[in-house]
Structure 1
């Protein structure tokens, strides 16, 4: 009897697991079907005003679009980097216009709000939409509803649609520049160190900086090293210079740093072999290699198939300094002379 009882329980468990699996698969299939693009309009041309702004607010003022990117790594989707209110934004739709017939396809978006909001109500979001199978749309509009008039919606160019040749080995993405940034000496020293280490491109999401810093940026832009992405986030949200909501109860932390860095990854993933995420006061210094190229070759040999590398950080306090590199001509340049701060704090355990 006990043995039969065990068999009965086992059969029941198998049945429950099987039924659960069937329900789950059916639900996932229905979910996927609900996200498939559907034709809602047919016309002769694609309408709507094309926007080139870095940050565009939708009519709900709870959703802010940075940029859409074509992403075919797993399936044919448009991945839109945006900022959303984590509670208020529940549904969004991608409106694709296919040329030359002008058919409008609407695809329900999957909204993936990043968990690292640090308590702020707004956070970075991946707004992901399946693309129509029979066309390669060049632009997309985002709307809160699958119904409406596309003429009234802003249109965004879908970047990375055409495959690019990798043109640089290393691109550094520096998190948002704000607060009338004026640490000129440290910035110049970091830029020159990046170039010594093998960096060809530095991307800066600039909110604001000092007049002198503008001149420095202009020099590096003309040199071809720096690319500036305008970042007027405080025109749309109440921003904080703090990293956690408990320190400053505003809309989004650190001037939307996480959103900017996510956008920088997708913006450069096709044209750069490596994309490095750095703060303005951080430099990855190899101990065993002369530059980043040889360092990364060695790391890839040791870790085949690895796509992401994390580097341990150390603090070099400004309160401890050395007289080496105390160059008098630098004393008139505002900012920290990083070459005088070479003593690091003990390793954290």
Structure 2
């Protein structure tokens, strides 16, 4: 049955339900809205700019799967072109950071705005004419390309407005002009949301079809101590969509304490093509995640779905960080050096031969690791205390008020389950992770997949490469 609700078309019936409240031009997804959404028939809902599109395709990639955050109901998470200024500038969000409003931005690399102003509004109707402040424009570390990630910091001037916080911000290149558009300021309520000990941020899911990898990631980081996973979605398949809906609804309806948040990450397009910026603006997604969740996280982790920061001498991340912090009190980052477990050397762990095939698990099915461990300045990932960090990089802290503790490889390592980075590297047998967590992981995978009986793994069994001509080094 198709029912018209406040200008929007949704499918409503015994099996399908999508509840929404209209708020201005945005849909606000309520906590109960995911309770009856299933994707077993490859149905996806696309929520963007005042419309809900219903798609049924066997291979449809869902570009705008969103889940509500505890503090941003009614906010459109999308890149918007700033109008009325001298260069192309895209804003994803405006995040309150006490000292300033941080605009998560993509800009033309190397461009210098000569007379840029932030206009801060402190009333809902913007009747106060706004307060103008000079911003700091900071290009984030990005490879050479036409566009770069950037942070535009609009300093707060509480003495000019009785200590209040701004509700909206706009950008102009004139001391008198009014902005053509304004952006709502998020993160205003420090008490909104749930404080988690560890938040894990995963940037840019692009053409993501491997649901097995996602389920393994969620269950494994829970053992490590994560309480929240934040994902940035560019495009995902219907089976991945189904997994995300299950986990997000568990959190929203109070069945689980583990929180999964999915933010749309659809990069701007020009002339029908996505703009040229490296790695789907990975650096910007990291910046957004840190500033969106740093006040709701004691520690944060930034890595990919196929990477695991493994505590080798401790039960979990919390125990590892606590001991290392006693040893080095000034540490704000704990660096895990990387080593690859190769997909072209399938080697199921003893006792888990059937389980690794059943659940498409790299942890259970790949125990052949490169003997080579990358140095700290190459491919490493970190746990960080975000309190004093101003700029977080992919592999290091660019700017922060403390030191990085490079963990000894017998204390912690980054296990990266992927295609080989060196074809003939000498191998070692690596079972420490599966020995420690294997049985618990199997139980968790069995429980999760039992709730997804018609959802495909999206995983193809690995094939062993011919290594007969290798001279291992």
Question: Which residue pairs with 2:364 in the alignment?
Answer: 339
Tell me the CA shift for residue 124 of structure 1.
Answer: 1.4
CA distance in 1, matches of 2:145, 2:332: 30
**Which deviates further from its counterpart, 78-87 or 267-276?**
78-87
TM-score, structure 2 length as denominator?
0.55
Point out where structure 1 has 5 or more consecutive residues left out of the alignment. Answer: 1-48, 240-249
Question: Which residue pairs with 1:226 in the alignment?
Answer: 260
SS of residue in 1 equivalent to 2:364: helix
Tell me the CA shift for residue 194 of structure 1.
Answer: 0.7
Q: Is residue 331 of structure 2 the alignment partner of residue 315 of structure 1?
A: no
Instruction: From the superposition, tell whether residues 329 and 278 of structure 1 become closer, same or farther in structure 2 (CA, over 3 Å).
Output: closer
CA distance in 2, matches of 1:303, 1:166: 29
Tell me the CA shift for residue 348 of structure 1.
Answer: 4.0
Q: Deviations over 1:222-269 (max 9, x none)?
A: 122310001111546955xxxxxxxxxx62011111101110000110
CA distance in 2, matches of 1:339, 1:251: 37
2:244 to 179, 193, 217: 217
CA distance in 2, matches of 1:329, 1:79: 44
CA distance in 2, matches of 1:173, 1:252: 20
1:142 to 171, 175, 179: 171
- Is the 1:164–1:270 contact (alpha carbons within 8 Å) kept by the matching residues of 2? no
- Is the 1:140–1:158 contact (alpha carbons within 8 Å) kept by the matching residues of 2? no
Q: How many equivalent residue pairs?
A: 283
SS of residue in 2 equivalent to 1:65: strand
Larger helix share, 1 or 2: 1
Q: How do 1:152-191 and structure 2 match up within 5 A?
A: 152-160=180-188, 162=190, 167-178=195-206, 180-191=207-218
Larger strand share, 1 or 2: 2
CA distance in 2, matches of 1:159, 1:142: 19
- Is the 1:122–1:251 contact (alpha carbons within 8 Å) kept by the matching residues of 2? yes
CA distance in 2, matches of 1:123, 1:270: 26
Q: Is residue 124 of structure 2 the alignment partner of residue 112 of structure 1?
A: no
CA distance in 1, matches of 2:188, 2:323: 29
Larger Rg belongs to: 1
1:275 to 286, 300, 306: 300
Instruction: From the superposition, tell whether residues 228 and 130 of structure 1 become closer, same or farther in structure 2 (CA, over 3 Å).
Output: same
CA distance in 2, matches of 1:291, 1:120: 39
Tell me the CA shift for residue 165 of structure 1.
Answer: 7.7
Instruction: From the superposition, tell whether residues 128 and 201 of structure 1 become closer, same or farther in structure 2 (CA, over 3 Å).
Output: same
1:302 to 307, 322, 327: 327
Instruction: From the superposition, tell whether residues 173 and 51 of structure 1 become closer, same or farther in structure 2 (CA, over 3 Å).
Output: closer
Q: Is residue 313 of structure 2 the alignment partner of residue 288 of structure 1?
A: yes
- Is the 1:70–1:161 contact (alpha carbons within 8 Å) kept by the matching residues of 2? no
CA distance in 1, matches of 2:194, 2:298: 6
- Is the 1:143–1:153 contact (alpha carbons within 8 Å) kept by the matching residues of 2? no
- Is the 1:171–1:201 contact (alpha carbons within 8 Å) kept by the matching residues of 2? yes
Instruction: From the superposition, tell whether residues 111 and 287 of structure 1 become closer, same or farther in structure 2 (CA, over 3 Å).
Output: same
Question: Which residue pairs with 1:243 in the alignment?
Answer: none
Q: Deviations over 1:152-184 (max 9, x none)?
A: 312322424545686110110001101x21122
2:156 to 121, 131, 135: 131
- Is the 1:205–1:231 contact (alpha carbons within 8 Å) kept by the matching residues of 2? yes
Instruction: From the superposition, tell whether residues 329 and 111 of structure 1 become closer, same or farther in structure 2 (CA, over 3 Å).
Output: closer
Q: Is residue 103 of structure 2 the alignment partner of residue 80 of structure 1?
A: yes
CA distance in 1, matches of 2:367, 2:172: 52
2:287 to 258, 262, 267: 262
CA distance in 2, matches of 1:328, 1:170: 28
CA distance in 1, matches of 2:263, 2:238: 17
CA distance in 2, matches of 1:220, 1:176: 19
RMSD: 2.6
- Is the 1:166–1:270 contact (alpha carbons within 8 Å) kept by the matching residues of 2? no
SS of residue in 2 equivalent to 1:274: strand
- Is the 2:204–2:233 contact (alpha carbons within 8 Å) kept by the matching residues of 1? yes
Question: Which residue pairs with 1:41 in the alignment?
Answer: none
